A and B are shown apart, each in its own frame.
Chain A
């Protein structure tokens, strides 16, 4: 039978009355055939895993060699509370740590700051000084575990604390493995955790790049993150395009700071979302690998193949979870986790079913971890590399996303690049618009969300929730006070003055921050010192 015959038959029959497009507004055909992959050249566009342009994966063995790292993002209450949760997760087979900090820590504020009132230990663990970090990693050997820290404006300080904890455990910084998020561009665009304006933020980031290249060579210095862009409401396409544009901007700044591209690019890693759009998510990861490799080679002339690699962490989409019928979230998360694995992720966080209510309970976290273990050990999805490679549909989507991403790159270029586009509110407007359009599509029932606008139930949700007791804030303030009494305050003052001088004269900040940390300077003191030199960021109000 010919395609035309099929088309004719198809057009005479009735289709379901819904909008067959994905969340990136890409129209989806009823069928994909070899015609849709006509221009696909296996060697040039796909090639073998571990080979340029890495469409099929960044390693030659992928999950046949080693499974992805199962890394649940976790942190709450005091450092002691979180230390207990880490030990629980490690006991149940988790293979890496991922630290969630509370809001005051994320903004570089101490637990006794007026802004911290009511927030201490709520959304993550509170860290004020090195003492807290010592407790957080007590009994966890840093040479055996890799640790990811979701921290941005104060990334340098938290990394410094981790290095010093390592020193105290007898682990040299050269062997430490892990990641700091340290991606300020997406903060201005989406996650909105900022202190300083973009230019000084970029300077801090390049200081970290430079320091780590020489001193902490196994550390991932920036986790270039699309996750938050997507959570803030973007489409998969915007997530892909903005994240890669941000990535190239870090490369530009690194080169401008005098670092040869191959000295720092191999330590850049990525962090993507896995949302409801199953096949688009998979195509997105594949497109990301191919696009990044192409420009790193052709535009930035990197020589080291490691500079071409999109190594990435994935988290399932928090914003796709529903408060209604929360058990359904287990299933949503399973689909999203599977998409990440089919897309070749290097590590994965699966969300817990109760996260639209509070931070997850131990039971909910265990189910989420088991979900990835089921994907790994039961489904067979990890038995072969890039199992959807060659799918007419997935290859066509991968191509389409690549094309549309380059269109976004052109648009960003005409605005003067990523930083000027942030200042003009371009990304913020794009993301807000997509979020609002999605909400309207749900309300008009052009898109469905089970339990929310279809198959709704009148229900009384009964679910156990994790509670952060109010004493956490008091305890944390008490222990901060104790540290301030016990430390050598004149030494603290001296190290802070040195930090200020380094900020003013352009010297690398990392060694100065390490000195402050060793004297138990607080996060608020260090960030406050830099704020005096760098100023603070004011957002353009857009909605």
Chain B
């Protein structure tokens, strides 16, 4: 049997807007992925720790607080330090276009913005893992 794709959905920092993260988590679960949701208010360190322990393929971060330019680089750095660069980082939230360009350059694989349909995210994940 093919191994299920494992995804950790994380809510880093103090941002309490979890509607998007939960909708995405439910949609990915219904699409047949193994989904781990961290819950709110996680430090970057604990998200990376959980990603490694849970042996996930992808970390999806939801950030609507404007702290994306601090948190994404930190997660990438911590994954590198722990030799876990194989874990793909994607994200979603209130993130302006010019910041998206910078984040992609830093190594974030993809950022989804408001209005992105969940099936687009499912298709994208299938396309990068298989």
- Chain A interfacial positions (CB closer than 8 Å to B): 103-104, 106-107, 109, 114-119, 122-123, 191-193, 231-233, 319, 322-324, 356-359, 432, 435-436, 439, 442-443, 449, 451-453, 461, 465, 468, 539, 541-543
Contact = CB atoms under 8 A, between A and B. Distances in A.
A123 B65 contact: yes
A539 B43 CA distance: 16
B22 A432 contact: yes
A123 B66 contact: yes
Interface in B99-130: 113-115, 117-119
Interface string B27-38: 101000001010
B14 A109 contact: yes
Given A103-B15, A115-B13, A123-B65, 6 more contacts: A117-B70, A122-B66, A432-B23, A436-B22, A436-B27, A539-B40
B19 interface: yes
Interface centre among B19, B26, B94 (most CB of A within 10 A): B19
A465 B94 CA distance: 12
Across the A-B interface, give the 4 residue pairs with the lowest CB-CB distance, nearest first: A118-B70, A122-B66, A192-B16, A118-B67
B115 A324 contact: yes
Contacts of A123: 15, 65-66
A119 B67 contact: yes
Given A103-B13, A468-B66, A323 B18 contact: no
B75 to A, nearest CB: 12
Contact residues on B (Cβ < 8 Å of other chain), bracket: 35 or more
A541 B14 contact: no
Given A118-B69, A322-B114, A358-B66, A432 B26 contact: yes
A439 B113 contact: no
A439 B118 contact: yes
B71 interface: yes
Interface in B43-92: 43, 65-67, 69-71
Contacts of B19: 231-233, 319, 435
A116 B117 CA distance: 31
Interface of B: 13-19, 21-23, 25-27, 29, 35, 37, 39-41, 43, 65-67, 69-71, 94, 96-97, 113-115, 117-119
B93 to A, nearest CB: 10
17 contacts: A103-B15, A114-B43, A115-B43, A118-B13, A118-B71, A119-B13, A119-B66, A192-B40, A233-B23, A323-B115, A436-B23, A439-B23, A443-B118, A451-B115, A542-B22, A543-B26, A543-B35
A350 B53 CA distance: 45
B26 A436 contact: yes
Given A119-B14, A443-B117, A465 B23 contact: no
Contacts of B115: 322-324, 449, 451-452
Contacts of A104: 14
Contact of B14 (A107, A233, A322, A542): A107
Contacts of B43: 114-115
Nearest to B9: A543
B68 to A, nearest CB: 8
A465 B13 contact: no
Contact of A358 (B35, B39, B96): B96
A539 B18 CA distance: 12
Contacts of B37: 541, 543
B128 to A, nearest CB: 21
Contacts of A359: 66
A442 B115 CA distance: 10
Interface centre among B27, B66, B114 (most CB of A within 10 A): B66
Nearest to B120: A443
B39 A539 contact: yes
Contacts of B39: 539, 541
Contacts of A432: 22-23, 26
Contacts of A461: 97
A193 B118 CA distance: 26
Nearest to A357: B96
Contact of B65 (A119, A436, A453): A119
Contacts of A191: 16
B112 to A, nearest CB: 11
A128 to B, nearest CB: 15
A464 to B, nearest CB: 11
B20 to A, nearest CB: 9
Contacts of B66: 119, 122-123, 358-359, 468
A449 B21 CA distance: 20
Nearest to B68: A118
A200 to B, nearest CB: 18
A319 B65 CA distance: 14
A443 B43 CA distance: 33
Contact of B94 (A116, A356, A436): A356
A113 to B, nearest CB: 10
A471 to B, nearest CB: 14
A356 B66 CA distance: 11
